[in-house]
């Protein structure tokens, strides 16, 4: 069985390591985190592996997962390169080069280029690792975007297939826009939920009640988008051309900002304007007439802060 070392035993690193260990894909070697204590905590969650204090203390391995923040990947690869033992010509013929990979959605495998001599790859699971315990159940079925050297992609394709994940292959040039699309759909959806809850709070509705009443319609909207597509899924005042309703909502948000003198509230009105204006081409595809679209465009762009 191939061995896997993990540098960065956070939510993603510990989830993947545990799943691969439980399914017999990898034997977990060393786990290195920001501190020995956090590395020990990660090994306890994984149920395998040995915590170490730094990269220089890690034993050799067939595969290395660099599961650190994007901005730290290059520096981590540089530190790892000093520790990777170069193979002799005899060893290279007898044993494949180690695979070093990261799980950034935005960066290419070349971010690991300091680790010359290794097969370099990136593997980005299209999944939110907010809660590792939930991810143990929810990750299977996700799609993983692979990029990098052929040897690394082949190994990772097999490894993720063993977790019941499907893999696609991207070029380095595709990664930034691919990841940006993922951020818009996932991370910014969370921001919109927070802004929605802030608006409910301003109406005097507590968060628990707001989340309860939002859950069915948000889930249904997500389902409609994937089943019908955004054009048919769009509903509400923009799709209907209810200009007076939109104007009243903008007035309410602007009044809220003025009354409370809270800079944080400014984002509610500005986000409503920005998203409303961005939604107009989609609304027109869904049937909004050109005259109403122009009136709404003017409304969204007047009296901006």
Distance spanning both ends of the chain, measured CA to CA: 61
Number of H helices, E strands in the chain: 14, 8
On the question of pLDDT at 183 being above 50, the answer is: yes
Residue 135: CB atoms within 10 A of its CB come to 22
Bridge partner list, 101: 65, 121
* Per-residue b or e along 63-96, where b marks 16 or more CB atoms closer than 10 Å to that residue's CB: bbbbbbeeeebbebbebbbeebeebeeeeeeeee
Residues 233-250, mean pLDDT to the nearest whole number? 95
Question: What digits encode the pLDDT tens for the residues 28-53?
Answer: 999 999 999 999 999 999 999 999 99
- Return d(Cα 155, Cα 97) in angstroms, integer: 12
In this structure, are 210 and 287 located in the same domain? yes
CATH number at residue 67: 3.40.50.720
In this structure, are 221 and 77 located in the same domain? no
Residues 1-13, mean pLDDT to the nearest whole number? 97
Residues 78-107, mean pLDDT to the nearest whole number? 80
On the question of pLDDT at 86 being above 80, the answer is: no
Bridge partner list, 53: none
User: Residue 85's pLDDT is what?
Assistant: 66
Under the banding of pLDDT at 50, 70 and 90, the label for residue 95 is confident
Question: What digits encode the pLDDT tens for the residues 139-170?
Answer: 999 999 999 999 999 999 999 999 999 999 99
- Return d(Cα 304, Cα 19) in angstroms, integer: 50
In this structure, are 167 and 192 located in the same domain? no
In this structure, are 222 and 246 located in the same domain? yes
The alpha carbon torsion through 10, 45, 5, 171 (nearest 10 deg) reads: -50
Of 145, 171, 197, which residue sits at a domain end? 171
User: Residue 256's pLDDT is what?
Assistant: 85
Domain that holds residue 155: 2-171
Cα within 13 Å of Cα(7), Cβ side: 30
> Is 27 inside a domain boundary?
yes
What is the domain count for the chain? Answer: 2
Of 105, 139, 171, which residue sits at a domain end? 171
On the question of pLDDT at 91 being above 80, the answer is: no
On the question of pLDDT at 261 being above 80, the answer is: no
In this structure, are 264 and 126 located in the same domain? no
- Return d(Cα 186, Cα 129) in angstroms, integer: 12
On the question of pLDDT at 305 being above 90, the answer is: no
On the question of pLDDT at 87 being above 80, the answer is: no
- Would you state the structure tokens that stand for residue 24, as one six-digit string? 């017999």
Burial class (CB in 10 A: 0-12, 13-18, 19+), 3: middle
Query: For residues 63 and 26, is the Cβ–Cβ distance under 8 A?
Result: yes
Look up residue 206 and give its DSSP letter. -
On the question of pLDDT at 94 being above 70, the answer is: no
User: Residue 254's pLDDT is what?
Assistant: 87
* 13-17, 218-222, 300-304: least confidently modelled range: 300-304
**Helix, strand, or coil (residue 54):** coil
The average confidence (pLDDT) of the chain is 93
> Is 69 inside a domain boundary?
yes
Under the banding of pLDDT at 50, 70 and 90, the label for residue 89 is very low
H or E, element range at 207: helix 207-228
On the question of pLDDT at 235 being above 50, the answer is: yes
In this structure, are 215 and 95 located in the same domain? no
Under the banding of pLDDT at 50, 70 and 90, the label for residue 137 is very high
- Return d(Cα 171, Cα 7) in angstroms, integer: 25
Q: Residues 6 or more apart from 211 whose CB is under 8 A from it? A: 197
> Is 176 inside a domain boundary?
no
In this structure, are 57 and 81 located in the same domain? yes
């Amino acid at each position: 069985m191939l061995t896997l070392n993990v540098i960065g035993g956070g939510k993603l690193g510990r989830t993947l390591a545990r799943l691969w260990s439980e399914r017999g894909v990898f034997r977990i070697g060393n786990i290195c985190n920001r501190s020995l204590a956090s590395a020990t905590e990660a090994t306890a969650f994984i149920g395998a592996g040995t915590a170490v204090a730094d990269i220089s203390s890690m034993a050799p391995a067939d595969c290395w997962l660099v599961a650190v923040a994007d901005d730290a990947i290059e520096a981590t690869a540089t530190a790892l390169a000093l520790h990777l033992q170069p193979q002799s010509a005899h060893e290279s013929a007898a044993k494949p080069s180690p695979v070093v990979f990261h799980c950034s959605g935005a960066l290419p495998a070349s971010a690991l280029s300091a680790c010359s001599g290794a097969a370099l790859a990136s593997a980005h699971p299209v999944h939110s690792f907010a809660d590792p315990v939930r991810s143990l159940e929810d990750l299977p079925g996700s799609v993983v975007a692979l990029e990098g050297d052929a040897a690394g992609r082949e190994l990772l394709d097999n490894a993720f297939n063993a977790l019941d994940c499907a893999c696609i292959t991207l070029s380095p040039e595709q990664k930034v826009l691919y990841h940006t699309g993922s951020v818009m759909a996932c991370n910014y959806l969370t921001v919109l939920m927070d802004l929605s809850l802030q608006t409910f709070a301003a109406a005097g509705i507590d968060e628990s009640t707001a989340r309860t009443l939002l859950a069915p319609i948000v889930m249904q909207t997500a389902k409609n988008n994937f089943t019908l597509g955004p054009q048919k899924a769009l509903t509400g005042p923009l799709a209907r051309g209810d200009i007076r309703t939109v104007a009243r909502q903008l007035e309410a948000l602007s009044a809220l900002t003025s009354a409370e003198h809270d800079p944080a509230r400014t984002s509610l009105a500005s986000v409503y304007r920005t998203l409303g204006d961005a939604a107009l081409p989609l609304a027109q595809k869904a049937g909004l007439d050109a005259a109403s679209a122009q009136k709404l465009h003017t409304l969204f762009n007047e009296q901006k802060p």
